[in-house]
Amino acid sequence: MTNKFPAQKYPTAGAFVADYVSAVATALNSVRPGQIERAVTAMKRAIQSDRLIFTCGNGGSAAIANHLTCDCSKGIATNTTLRPRVVSLSATVELVTAIANDMAYSEVFAYQLKNAARPGDVLITISSSGDSENIIRALDWAGNNGMTTIALSGFSGGRSAQMADISLHVAAENYGVVEDVHQSLIHILAQYVRMSELPSELVQTLRF
């Protein structure tokens, strides 16, 4: 595939990083702008309606999900009247391991949604493969219970790219590249939502 990286063994780290940077740029440009616009709209609508935004992922994607809570709860709220309520379903190891141990790991996210989510809330899933079973079950439950769903995926997109209302698919075949772009997308969404609520003269003076 043309988007496979690395496709060869590199003799130096410098040569590797040059192509890695190019792969990240290509991957970021593969995400459809219209879908990013829809994700921004869904997030703003949820925040303005005092709805919850849930997020989840496994492994490195769990770290990105946890990071989203910071970028929204602290980032978006700074200098604006917006007060995002964001919950990472990956954050509480006690609850995740209890569900995994007593039920199944495939239920760790969906089970939490059944207890805490309501129609009108938003679910943001983060999965490089787009096919992790616990992600799929969370999307399935959310979609059947009145939630808006946003899926970040990579590789072929998996089932999550097909199931979600909004698909932020990264056309890349390298886990690091996909996760780097997913983290960038989280920053883009949060920073744009914040910026859109600020007067132009204030934007020019603030750090983002």
Percent of the chain clearing pLDDT 70 (strictly above): 99
Q: Total domain count for the chain?
A: 1
* Model pLDDT, residue 190: 97
For residues 36 and 28, is the Cβ–Cβ distance under 8 A? no
Does residue 172 belong to any structural domain of this protein?
yes
Structure tokens that stand for 65 in this block: 């999900």
* Residue 195 pLDDT greater than 60, yes or no: yes
127: helix, strand or coil: strand
Give the count of beta carbons closer than 10 Å to the beta carbon of residue 111.
23
Does residue 174 belong to any structural domain of this protein?
yes
Going by C-beta distance under 8 Å and a sequence separation of 6 or more, which residues neighbour residue 128? 60, 61, 153, 154, 155, 175, 178, 179, 182
Angle CA 55–182–10, to nearest 5: 145
Does residue 115 belong to any structural domain of this protein?
yes
Does residue 129 belong to any structural domain of this protein?
yes
For the residues 96-121, what does the mean pLDDT come to?
Answer: 98
* Residue 128 pLDDT greater than 70, yes or no: yes
* Model pLDDT, residue 3: 74
pLDDT mean across residues, the chain: 96
Does residue 45 belong to any structural domain of this protein?
yes
Does residue 125 belong to any structural domain of this protein?
yes
* Residue 26 pLDDT greater than 50, yes or no: yes
* Residue 2 pLDDT greater than 80, yes or no: no
Does residue 41 belong to any structural domain of this protein?
yes
- Work out the pLDDT band at 4, boundaries 50, 70, 90: confident
Does residue 75 belong to any structural domain of this protein?
yes
* Model pLDDT, residue 75: 93
Domain span at residue 36 reads 32-203
- Per-residue pLDDT tens for 43-77? 999 999 999 999 999 999 999 999 999 999 999 99
* Model pLDDT, residue 82: 95
- Work out the pLDDT band at 1, boundaries 50, 70, 90: very low
Domain holding 165: CATH number? Answer: 3.40.50.10490
- Note if the bond before 11 is cis, omega within 30 degrees: no
